[in-house]
A and B are shown apart, each in its own frame.
Chain A
Amino acid sequence: MPGKDVGRKSTKRKQIEEEERAQTEELPADGGLEMLSDEEDGDAASDDGHVDEFPEFVNESSSEESDYEEDEEEEEEEEEDSSEAGEDSDAGSDDSLHVFPKAKTIISDITQQPKIVYPEIEPDYDSDSSTEDTPNRVGDVPMHWYDDLPHIGYDINGRKVLRPARGDELDKFLATVDDSSAWTSAFDKKAQAEKPLTAEELDLIQRLYTNENPDAGYDPYEPTTEWFTGKGKEEIMPLSGALQPKRRWVPSKWEKQKVMKIVRAIRQGRIVPSKPKTAASKFEAYAIWSEPSSSNPPPLPAPKPALPTNAESYNPPEEYLPTEEERKEWEALDPEDRERNYLPQKYSSLRLVPAYDRFIKERFFRQLDLYLAPRVQRVKLNIDPDSLIPKLPSPNSLRPFPNYKSLQFQHEKGRARCLSVSPDGEWVVSGDEDGVVSLWEIIVGREVKRWKFGGKIGALAWCPRTDVSFFAVGIEDTIYFVIPPNIDPAVLSNTQTALAPATLPPTPATPSPVKWETPASSAWSIDTPLLTINLIPSSGLPTHFCWHRKGDYLASVSTGGLQSNVWIHQLTRRHSQSPFKKIKGAVQSVLFHPLKPHFFVATQQYVRIYNLAEQKLIKTLIPGIKWISSMDVHPSGDHLIVGGYDRKLCWFDLELSEKPYKVLRYHSRAIRSLQFHPAYPLFASSSDDGSIQIFHSRVYNDLMTDPLIVPLKILRGHHVVDGLGVLQVKWCSKQPWLVSSGADGSLAVWCS
């Protein structure tokens, strides 16, 4: 970039400019000279051996050089563009222009062999264009920093490099006119001056313009080097020159079959080749994170396998090693019963440890566990378990209650199905299925008197009156009234009057089908009943008796018969009547209310309460039991317990709803019998599981407090025979003693 009006600038500047110009003028020549000198400099004798020995190395170095120069050329191109200098690049003679130093082949003086000699690279700064001594040493800083300064940087000695004089557009124009090479120059930012491009650079630019390989030395048409083929390099291949088999070029038969299958399917419409694209088949984009999180808990991570313990060591402590017995015991056990699936073994050193024989099995079971074992997160309830147990008083504080079997009375034959305790609590009568009724003392258990009847004894009930003493015995279709021995003469005569009055009451207007019979007084004896009520024939076995508290009415329930099975017998009128014209369902049990003229009737599923005075239904209780077996009313008359064959025991508060106040399900088999103690706050239930359960049942007088029911004691001692356990329980009226009769023919007295 030699400026025309150099003289207008300061002398100093002129000098520099001139120097530079001299340099730039020299440069193309220099480049050419250098090339020449490279070619001509032939003093390669000193290091020809090196060159011969390491040709590849030299090649590499040359290629590096070329890379470097390429980079520089690009830079220069940019500079050209920015300086908007000459658009047209004059492609000089290609052959003369060589960026890379040319190697030449000479005949070595020593070996007389041809050798390639490369121009020597001088290890000074001028040897490479990239390291040529540029006067400006500011480094890689933006040059506009120096825009307002007289200098453009510093040279290697720290002296300011003055900005070269720059001519205006006219100077430029003049320069282009004067200097033919001006248009091939580019602006050098560092020097802040136009710099003529070298011939190689111009050649590069030209090649790039023509989309040629920028390397002038690159020959795209050089002959191929036959590396693997060609003469002397024929490969012996295991290929045969046999003819191709026919099947290679004959169309495949099975392909045709397959295709025909598809074609047939298409024809028959089994395959629709171009399905109409529906909305469903289209891929629908959706946001995978936008769906609501599922309620399922995330899958639980599998538990970590247990860490090995000391016993699994190859050299465990002695105490872990099994003794001979332990080893035998371990081997005798089934694998699934073993506490651990290995036996500790001792090896003196680690290299003696054999291969791990359980590896596969262990992995297998672990994988099975991971894959198949369902894992459930158990929610741990943070509740004190004691707080869930209702606060009940201790049974010890609720004494007395029966807690042991004091004595046992045995019937020889048959199940003891029923019993009754005398109202004074001294005597027990018990009846069995053999027709034997035994009278025995409650506290000694000695049979005092025995009666024999002609059939199963279904029910027994002692008359609750204290001025008379007799009991009713129910056998098939008949009810007998029997007087026990050894009673006071006054009581005896009262009883006889009650059962067999001298003057019979007038027969009622509507005669009852039930006949009352008394033998002639001459035939009276202690062994025969004084009064007989003949129920309607085939009315079945009376299974339940209930005396009214005044001892005048006796209600009887017969089962197994065809006729209506509930009768109320009135002793004073010697008259029996059926309180119901028609009853829905089979009556299981009846009860008189202890205070009011109410009558409880338990059918299979319901308990109905009738008012006998007003002749109407008061209430229907729904115990939710499938088959009611027994019931009893509390002495206060406000509470009722109902037991069922489906093991449930329901407590009803009659003041409250028709649903049970409490349902107790403590028996494991059907409940057979229930009774409230007449004086103590106790009730007992007996079951086919052979046990009797005693409950404390305190009923409060104020209507606010709920009854307190506390299970006290399970009495066991009866044997279960033919699936039948304890058939009836009765309380001793004056003591907290319980008498029970079992299917094993035994009766037990349970004392406190």
Chain B
Amino acid sequence: MTTIGSSMASQPVVFTTQTQYPLPTQKFMIPISWKRYQLSQLVNKALSMDKPVPFDFLVRGELLHTTLSEWCAENGVGEEETLEIEYIESVMPPQKVSDFPHEDWVSAVSCQIPGHFLTASYDGQIRVFDYSKNLISTTMAHTAPITSLSVISVDDSTFTVATSSQDLTAQITQITLGASPSSKMLTSLHLHTAPVSSVSSNLAGTNLLTSSWDGLIGFWDTSIPSSDEVPEPVLNERDRKKRRKIEASAKPMRKAPLLVLKSHSARVSKVRFARDETKAVSCGFDSTVRMWNTEYGVCEHTINAAEKPFLDFALVPDGTSALAVSTDRTMTMYDLRTSPTSLSVSIATFQHTATPSCVAACESNSHQVVTGAYDGVVRVWDVRSTKGAVASFKAWEGKKKVLSVDWRRGVVGVAGEGGLEVWRVGEEAS
């Protein structure tokens, strides 16, 4: 293995990996005409694996697409230099599984519940699909467009879902599936004076976070109040009449927040619980990513970026860093562990060709994320390779915006202008 035909020019190479298939630390002389495929075969043979596992190779933060010699010529690496090549498991080419056409734009998708897809649409409805493309349930949650959706708890065929809307409220809705699907609005969350941009719940489903265009973040529990915690606004005659009509139906109780997190100076575009659930992370149009302590309601740490209005962010599964997409067509990776005193710097920047609107991290692989952009292209990134996306696919015909992506169990739900599409990405097949 170490001695390969001396007639060909070769390059000394050391392989490293963070996968479960480590090679012994050893210098290999690799013919420089080799490509990814030969290298992958080499690793497979060296490990004498039963089932071949395709690998991708990262050379100095760049995926190897060409032969080694071409790469060396491009980067000016001499033959004598020892290259350190990291190999990662290949991302299989994404495959389209199915699509779910919607009448209106879909602003949010959740693949959290196994066997089901939940979508929230601009027509104010929550739709539940199962994997065989059947629309199981439709719930009219808001009169205004829904901006985001979060699953609070799953109990057999009863889902509790939080939605945020442009009608300045968020809502907790219970959807019961079964022979006669029904839904019930449990409570509405009243804090914001501007459209609510996002809602997210913690894993246990006990707490909620909402963010709004008015720069506020609300911290809520999910208990259903027995009475209005927030008084009805003083209504004029016209509204009162309207209200009476609504009151005829079941009117949900008005709920007040536990805490209001105030620090953002502009629209907060996204808020999520951190891995440690007493912490929350948010990003906004004031080009900051902020970390909050939800027990005390204070901002613990702020990452200031220059002129990057953030649209969305995702936390990598180990919770150490955040990937935030902004309107300057970049996704930037920030280390969240840095102490408030130290200057927080971005780790890596990933360039897009259109505005990336949403980002989702892979659950199982802490190096992979997907981003959806306004040009309708969903890109799969390996955070170690900043030069280009590992894989990308176009969701709909034409230029239709992707507004939300969710990546669970190897399935990417892509929601946007054209409805919902489901693609299989990643090694983990469900």
Contacts and interface: CB of A to CB of B under 8 A. Distances in A.
Interface of A: 399-400, 404, 406-407, 424, 426, 443-446, 448, 485-486, 488-491, 493, 496, 521-522, 524, 734-737, 751-752
B327 A426 contact: no
Interface stretch (B149-157, B229-237, B422-430): B229-237
A734 B285 contact: yes
15 contacts: A404-B329, A407-B355, A443-B311, A444-B107, A444-B403, A448-B144, A448-B166, A486-B195, A488-B168, A490-B233, A521-B236, A521-B238, A734-B266, A734-B285, A751-B327
A489 B233 contact: yes
B363 interface: no
Interface string B262-302: 00001100000000000000000100000000000000000
B237 A735 contact: no
A444 B168 contact: no
Contacts of B237: 521-522
B13 interface: no
B395 to A, nearest CB: 16
A678 to B, nearest CB: 15
A444 B166 contact: no
A493 B355 contact: no
B307 A407 contact: no
Nearest to B147: A444
A400 B194 contact: no
Contacts of B107: 444
B36 interface: no
B187 to A, nearest CB: 18
B236 A493 contact: yes
A639 B389 CA distance: 46
Contact of A485 (B144, B327, B403): B144
B122 interface: yes
Interface in B85-138: 105, 107, 122
A406 to B, nearest CB: 4
B193 interface: yes
Nearest to B232: A489
Contacts of A426: 194-195, 213, 267
B167 A406 contact: no
Interface in B219-239: 233-238
B31 interface: no
A752 B105 CA distance: 25
B122 A399 contact: no
A399 B145 contact: no
Contacts of A751: 327-329, 355
B255 interface: no
A-side interface mostly:
loop
A67 to B, nearest CB: 102
A399 B307 contact: yes
Nearest to A403: B328
Question: Which of A400, A496, A521 has the most CB atoms of chain B within a 10 A radius of its CB?
Answer: A400
Nearest to A407: B374
B309 interface: yes
A719 to B, nearest CB: 15
B39 interface: no
Contact of A735 (B166, B194, B309, B354): B309
A400 B328 contact: yes
Contacts of A399: 307
Contacts of A752: 307, 327-328
Given A404-B329, A446-B105, A496 B236 contact: yes
B421 to A, nearest CB: 18
Contact of B145 (A400, A424, A448, A735): A448
B52 to A, nearest CB: 42
Given A407-B355, A407-B401, A521-B237, A736 B195 contact: no
A737 B233 CA distance: 35
Given A407-B355, A489-B233, A521-B236, 10 more contacts: A404-B329, A424-B194, A488-B168, A488-B194, A490-B193, A496-B236, A521-B238, A735-B285, A735-B327, A751-B329
A406 B325 CA distance: 14
Contact of A406 (B194, B234, B236, B355): B355
Interface in B328-356: 328-329, 354-355
A488 B193 contact: yes
A305 B274 CA distance: 83
Interface in B163-207: 166-168, 193-195
A496 B168 CA distance: 19
Contacts of A493: 234, 236
Nearest to B233: A489
Question: Which of B122, B168, B309, B329 has the most CB atoms of chain A within a 10 A radius of its CB?
Answer: B309
Interface in B309-335: 309, 311, 327-329
A529 B329 CA distance: 39
Contacts of A489: 233-235
A446 B166 CA distance: 12
Closest 9 pairs between A and B when the two form their complex, measured CB to CB: A489-B233, A488-B193, A400-B307, A751-B327, A406-B355, A486-B166, A486-B144, A524-B238, A486-B167
Contacts of A444: 107, 357, 401, 403
Contact of A446 (B122, B266, B307): B122
A446 B145 contact: yes
Question: Which of B327, B329, B403 has the most CB atoms of chain A within a 10 A radius of its CB?
Answer: B327
A522 B309 contact: no
Interface string B385-417: 000000000000000010100000000000000
B339 to A, nearest CB: 29
B238 A522 contact: yes
Contacts of B167: 486
Nearest to A502: B236
A524 B235 CA distance: 14
Nearest to B269: A443
A633 B325 CA distance: 35
Given A448-B166, A489-B233, A751-B328, A406 B195 contact: no
A752 B355 CA distance: 10
Question: Which of A486, A488, A490 has the most CB atoms of chain B within a 10 A radius of its CB?
Answer: A486
A406 B193 contact: no
A488 B195 CA distance: 9
A736 B329 CA distance: 14
A425 B285 CA distance: 11
B107 to A, nearest CB: 8
Contacts of B234: 489, 493
B323 to A, nearest CB: 19
A522 B311 CA distance: 41
Contacts of B122: 446, 448
